Structure 1
Amino acid sequence: MDTTAAPRRQVGIFSILSESVYVGMCNKLGTPQQVASRRDIVDILELFGNQHDVRGLMSGSMREGFRFSDSDVDTMFWQLNHRVIWDFSQSEYYNIHRQVMILCDSSESPAGFTLLWLPLERAGQGVLMLSIVEMNGGLYISSSKYRENACASIILDSRVHGPCSTSTERIGSYDMDHDVAHCFVSDFWPPSASSWIDRCHSWPPPHVVNDIVRNGCHFVAIGHKLGNHEDNEWRISFSQAEHKLVYSMNHTQFLTYGLMKLFLKEIINNGLGDEDKLLCSYHMKTAVFWAIQQNTLPHWCPQNLLAGFWVCFKLLLKWVYEGISPNFFIPENNMFLSKIHGQAQTSLFRRLYGLYEKGIALLLHSPSIRSSIIDVLCNPRLTVCTDEHTLISEAEFDVQLFREICTYDALTINRSELQHCMKYIQTIEQLIETLQTSDLQYCMNILHTVEQLIGSPLSQYHVISLQKHVATILQSTAFILHNMCTNTGVNKQVYIVDKMSRHMLKLAAKFGLVPDMLYIAMYYYKTLRYREALSVIEMTKVKLAQPYLMYRRVHIERYTEAVGGQSWSTKMRQAVAWDIKLINEISYISELLPEQQSSTQNKEPRLHIPPFVLLHMLEFLCSRHVDTVKAQTALDDLQFLVHHDQGQYVYGIYRDISWEILGICQQMAGNLQAALCSYQQSLGQVSFNGIQTATTQRIHDLHIPT
């Protein structure tokens, strides 16, 4: 088989085609700046999630910087008090009385797999204890038992998928499959992967190699299908190393990886059932890793994007022809061994070789890439500009950035303002000792993490995420403190907490998005300060009415004229709105408690409410105690918004809670028939917030025949 020839194209046209596809891929997969911002935001999210004795590592397409509609979310979890070692001498680095030592036994396992042995016969607790089997006179951790026990005890509505527990989880506005692998960690690099270190002459750079080796590896609960101990073996996982490798790619290499993923999804696997899909995204990633490291292409630049793709495709084709796909870290581990052989291998090779014979024209079969190629073929003299700053405007980048930030609960303040937040730590800690609540202790752990990070080197996107988390924690802490202290009845303590809560909410609103002021209004309503709440609502109403406001979409010209060129902090305070998120474990206002309880029962962690809907609701609730005419006006405004909005202010998936809130207000106003119609409308919407139980109960409580 001869795969040495390049596709038959003139060099000039081929270069222009590459540049055109590069621009198309930047528009679809992200510019360098967009990808960097996504990664940094997720990095901070992961950092704040690691506050307990269990550590987590996000991986998969989302972590790598892709935002495909079907991007997967993968997370690995491991216990800090369990450590895997490769020989007994490494135990000297641990306190064996506090940490469970687990020893690798790879003597009977295929390359890339191992048995995990408990040499000190310390079985540990929980899932570990339930997963032990006796073999060869020793105690071993069974991967199949561990996987099943972890799936059953930790994620109740999940299903076993490979080494993972898979469940459906909401990320922003999308429902995605979330694969969770409960694993073990080793602080030491596997001896079987030592050859990888010696191969790293040109890529990755030495500092990346050192970082990868220093962070060791993990072990996920799945054995080799052809091994002697499939049910008990563990696969050595290099997920942490892999995302560091992806981060070290230049943008052309990253887009080549993305192009290979699209090639797999839209061409190779198009029309195939799951059982017929022999190649997966991991094979594409591995091919890109090998192609970069083998220095097959001297210059990875926009003009060579298609050449880079062709190099990776030929390598993949060679692997299928030979039936050998070497793992990037342990080449002796043939990833095709158990699946791609015999007739399946022959059929796959014929399919791929048929594509190879078409040359780069094969990409015309990809809906994502086709237009970029046709544009050049129709106009061979086309000039393509690949400069990042011409690919996306400031406003367009801001829309993407703020959407990402809001999805992961991020917002902007500067470092001096962060230090101002930290002054609350000592006082809150003293209150925690009195109240003894784990919720507040979690908040404190987050604030302490922030305190440690303030002086460390951070990217601009790290700072944005970091600061939003601080604002969210301040808002949460304010309501948790109030709810706890209200129940104590100690007047002095209630006074101190009330003063602190108001300060924290004002501080968070000062740093945050426009609708964050509504948390202050909710607090004032909760504490019977109706006029103060209405004053805050009026200020918020003015800001939300600005024509340049960014809420999911934006009028680019007006936005640019109003805040173009200003800092992200200024933009967020003056021009950005997002949905209000009410954490279901925290009581904000009593009128929404049934909805929060119903949402919790449906395994949703929070309510998502359009800020415009919540504003009118709060205005109605407060005005009932101050001005009944104004209360009716607020109700009329809410009714008009919910009935007539075309998705501008009431995002489609939030219409369930919007109709529900209208019904609540109509019921409180005494218009039971209108409330019934609103509740029925709520039940007819997409159940995004999981409030159906509350809605059904409210209909029942109306006592109106349906």
Structure 2
Amino acid sequence: MSDQGELYEDSWILYRVLDRMMGNREMVAVSRKLILVRDKTSAHTFLQWRISFATAERKLIHSLSHAQVLVYCLLKYLLKQISGKLKQIYGDTDILSSYIIKTTILHAVENTPLSLWEEKNTFLCFMLCLNILATWVKAGYCPNYIINRNNMFLGKVHGEHQQKLLRLLVELRDMTWGCLSIGTFFQPSIGEYIQRVKNGAWELVLPTPAQSEREIDFTIFEQSFLLFCATDVLPALKLLSKSKSDMDECVAYFNTVSALSFKWMEVFEKQAPLEGNKQKYKSLRKCKKFISPLAVTCTSPGLLTLATYHYQTGNYMNTLETCGYLISSWKVFSGNISEKDRDRYEHLYCGRGYSLLHKFQQAFIFDMVFTETSSYFCPVNLQQELTNVGSSKLIIPPLPYAVFLTFLCYHELNDTRRRDAALKDLRAVKYDTNQGGSKYWIVHNLLGICYEMVGDIHMALREYKNSLSGEKLFHYNNPAMERIERLEY
């Protein structure tokens, strides 16, 4: 391989190593630490005021491309690695500050073409910035990015210190790749990571087969939820009949059963005006047949939709059993997937030969969705919320909805002890990171409705008011103000 080819390969490895290390908390902390520099040449610093460009600089840093951010972090990484040597030589690590590193990357980006900042040029861009820094030290002049005539080396880099710092930077530059192997702040060093990869440890920079499977699964499942509102069964069945791959079958099957579930909701509405118990019973049995395939496919909305059916038909024990399963089991909520959930999903389901449909059934949950066409099916307690969304959709995260249904069942059974326990659980769910009230206004409304049902008007009002505060999803459909006015007047 040519020298240029080796440079590109090593830069690619460096790029991947940096990309993976960005997940390291210490590296992230280092990349975000921005230090302001005082004018140490003045004898009256306590009387001085300084104009801050922190907001502008923050926007500039946020505008950097991914490749540019990685080079910026690499420069700060090097600064941390040589901090011990700087302190040993100068007695002060602040001779090169984080702010100067930021200034270096901003000047480098402005004065070079964007095409230079590519993955294959990662190390080249790093060396460019190192050369800029060495040139500034040699001249004893580091121009502030906003105000160029402001020399940030003034009072710091001069005389013997200037010469020592220049020798250190030239030494680092001449070491080329070797400069990434010095220092002990991060162990192992980036240089050691690169050497390990070149020796065959590709798992350090490439995802494992299980990780690749995990990311593909998440992409498919998250996009599949968009199909839940499909209402035409025939195209879905046609797609299912032509499916060939595992992915085709999973997506087509979910599309089909979700379309059937909407048809079932229409049938449920039609049974309401029927006369005679026999006619209603037949209609309800037909409804259950329509929803069963979706219930087998996923816990939410599938099983939760079946639980709602049981609640609406007075079968509270089946409702409680279904909701209890969702509340007590671990599932991946598609609304916001944490890294911990990703790792656990990978451990439990990836690399084991499971089909996509099996993993879909076992691991994933989605929001519950009600539309104006399902007004008879939606619990009567939520009719005001459903009316407000109009032609849109009422979206409820699955965990709060399952606890809410549990509360309703115990209320109907006159089991006040378990009802109050369910209310306590719903209060706890309100603080859930992914499905709680900080993101979904409906969670506060669910709590408010429960408080109204137990006669605690004060707490109900507080929840409705909390429902209106902050930035929450689909806040414009929130009927909390109408509920507040009704309780207050």
Within the candidate set 444, 460, 482, 2:268 is matched to 482
Within the candidate set 447, 452, 468, 1:667 is matched to 452
2:11 is the counterpart of 1:12 = no
1:679 deviation in Å? Answer: 0.4
Provide the residue aligned with 1:454 in structure 2.
240
Verify the 8 A CA contact 1:613 1:658 in the aligned structure 2.
yes
Provide the residue aligned with 1:505 in structure 2.
291
Verify the 8 A CA contact 1:409 1:472 in the aligned structure 2.
no
Aligned amino acid, residue 380 of structure 2: S
Aligned amino acid, residue 11 of structure 1: G
2:189 is the counterpart of 1:401 = no
Query: 1:624 aligns to what SS in structure 2?
Result: helix
Query: 1:650 aligns to what SS in structure 2?
Result: coil
Structure 1 residues 496, 567: closer, same or farther in 2, change over 3 A?
Answer: same
1:634 deviation in Å? Answer: 1.0
Structure 1 residues 576, 27: closer, same or farther in 2, change over 3 A?
Answer: farther
Q: Deviations over 1:225-273 (max 9, x none)?
A: xxxxxxxxxxxxxxxxxxxxxxxxxxxxxxxxxxxxxxxx856xx9xxx
Structure 1 residues 640, 481: closer, same or farther in 2, change over 3 A?
Answer: same
Q: What pairs with 1:215-294 in structure 2 (closer than 5 Å)?
A: 266=64
Provide the residue aligned with 2:484 in structure 1.
699
Verify the 8 A CA contact 2:197 2:205 in the aligned structure 1.
no
Provide the residue aligned with 1:550 in structure 2.
332
Within the candidate set 379, 387, 396, 1:597 is matched to 387
Q: Partners in 2 of 1:652 and 1:688 — Cα distance?
A: 9
Provide the residue aligned with 1:110 in structure 2.
none
1:619 deviation in Å? Answer: 0.8
Provide the residue aligned with 1:580 in structure 2.
368
Q: Partners in 2 of 1:675 and 1:501 — Cα distance?
A: 35
Provide the residue aligned with 1:238 in structure 2.
none
Provide the residue aligned with 1:463 in structure 2.
249
Query: 1:640 aligns to what SS in structure 2?
Result: helix
**TM-score, normalised relative to structure 1:** 0.41
Q: Partners in 2 of 1:612 and 1:474 — Cα distance?
A: 24
Provide the residue aligned with 2:79 in structure 1.
none
1:473 deviation in Å? Answer: 1.7
Structure 1 residues 506, 666: closer, same or farther in 2, change over 3 A?
Answer: same
Q: Alpha carbon RMSD of aligned pairs, Å?
A: 4.3
Q: Partners in 1 of 2:382 and 2:117 — Cα distance?
A: 60
Query: 1:454 aligns to what SS in structure 2?
Result: helix
1:667 deviation in Å? Answer: 0.9
Within the candidate set 457, 462, 470, 1:685 is matched to 470
Query: 1:608 aligns to what SS in structure 2?
Result: strand
Q: Deviations over 1:523-582 (max 9, x none)?
A: 12222332332233233333x3x4xx3232344665455444133333332333232222
Query: 2:394 aligns to what SS in structure 1?
Result: strand
Q: Deviations over 1:485-522 (max 9, x none)?
A: 31344765533321121122222111223563111111
Q: Deviations over 1:43-68 (max 9, x none)?
A: xxxxxxxxxxxxxxxxxxxxxxxxxx
More helix by share: 2
Q: Partners in 1 of 2:226 and 2:195 — Cα distance?
A: 44
Mark the runs of 5 or more structure 1 residues left unpaired by the alignment.
Answer: 1-7, 29-264, 271-350, 413-438
Q: Partners in 1 of 2:370 and 2:209 — Cα distance?
A: 33
1:355 deviation in Å? Answer: 1.3
Q: Deviations over 1:658-691 (max 9, x none)?
A: 1111111111211110000000010003231335
Q: Partners in 2 of 1:634 and 1:366 — Cα distance?
A: 58
Aligned amino acid, residue 320 of structure 2: L
2:398 is the counterpart of 1:640 = no
Aligned amino acid, residue 450 of structure 2: C
Structure 1 residues 381, 406: closer, same or farther in 2, change over 3 A?
Answer: closer
Aligned amino acid, residue 408 of structure 2: L
Verify the 8 A CA contact 2:468 2:480 in the aligned structure 1.
yes
Q: Partners in 1 of 2:424 and 2:220 — Cα distance?
A: 34
1:12 deviation in Å? Answer: 0.7
Within the candidate set 622, 637, 645, 2:409 is matched to 622
Verify the 8 A CA contact 1:411 1:511 in the aligned structure 2.
no
Within the candidate set 383, 386, 409, 2:197 is matched to 383
Structure 1 residues 650, 399: closer, same or farther in 2, change over 3 A?
Answer: farther
Provide the residue aligned with 1:532 in structure 2.
318
Verify the 8 A CA contact 1:515 1:577 in the aligned structure 2.
yes
Q: Partners in 2 of 1:357 and 1:558 — Cα distance?
A: 39
Verify the 8 A CA contact 2:437 2:443 in the aligned structure 1.
no
Verify the 8 A CA contact 2:240 2:252 in the aligned structure 1.
no
Aligned amino acid, residue 421 of structure 2: T
Structure 1 residues 396, 572: closer, same or farther in 2, change over 3 A?
Answer: same
Q: What pairs with 1:178-197 in structure 2 (closer than 5 Å)?
A: none
2:335 is the counterpart of 1:521 = no
Q: Partners in 1 of 2:237 and 2:205 — Cα distance?
A: 35
Aligned amino acid, residue 268 of structure 2: H
Q: Partners in 2 of 1:527 and 1:633 — Cα distance?
A: 24
Q: What pairs with 1:54-133 in structure 2 (closer than 5 Å)?
A: none
**TM-score, normalised relative to structure 2:** 0.57
Verify the 8 A CA contact 1:409 1:465 in the aligned structure 2.
no
Query: 2:366 aligns to what SS in structure 1?
Result: coil
Q: Partners in 1 of 2:115 and 2:209 — Cα distance?
A: 39
Aligned amino acid, residue 699 of structure 1: I
2:426 is the counterpart of 1:610 = no
Mark the runs of 5 or more structure 2 residues left unpaired by the alignment.
Answer: 23-62, 69-108, 130-175, 181-190
Verify the 8 A CA contact 2:447 2:460 in the aligned structure 1.
yes
Aligned length: 335
Verify the 8 A CA contact 1:550 1:576 in the aligned structure 2.
yes
Query: 1:685 aligns to what SS in structure 2?
Result: coil
Structure 1 residues 678, 357: closer, same or farther in 2, change over 3 A?
Answer: closer
Verify the 8 A CA contact 1:471 1:512 in the aligned structure 2.
no
1:606 deviation in Å? Answer: 1.9
Aligned amino acid, residue 12 of structure 1: E
Verify the 8 A CA contact 2:271 2:283 in the aligned structure 1.
yes
Q: Give aligned-pair identity as a percent.
A: 18
Query: 2:472 aligns to what SS in structure 1?
Result: coil
Aligned amino acid, residue 361 of structure 2: R
Verify the 8 A CA contact 1:266 1:366 in the aligned structure 2.
no
Provide the residue aligned with 1:631 in structure 2.
419
Aligned amino acid, residue 298 of structure 2: G
Query: 1:667 aligns to what SS in structure 2?
Result: helix
Aligned amino acid, residue 16 of structure 1: D
Aligned amino acid, residue 653 of structure 1: K
Provide the residue aligned with 2:113 in structure 1.
355
Q: Partners in 1 of 2:476 and 2:177 — Cα distance?
A: 48
1:617 deviation in Å? Answer: 0.6
Query: 2:369 aligns to what SS in structure 1?
Result: strand
Q: Partners in 1 of 2:115 and 2:271 — Cα distance?
A: 73
Structure 1 residues 664, 580: closer, same or farther in 2, change over 3 A?
Answer: same
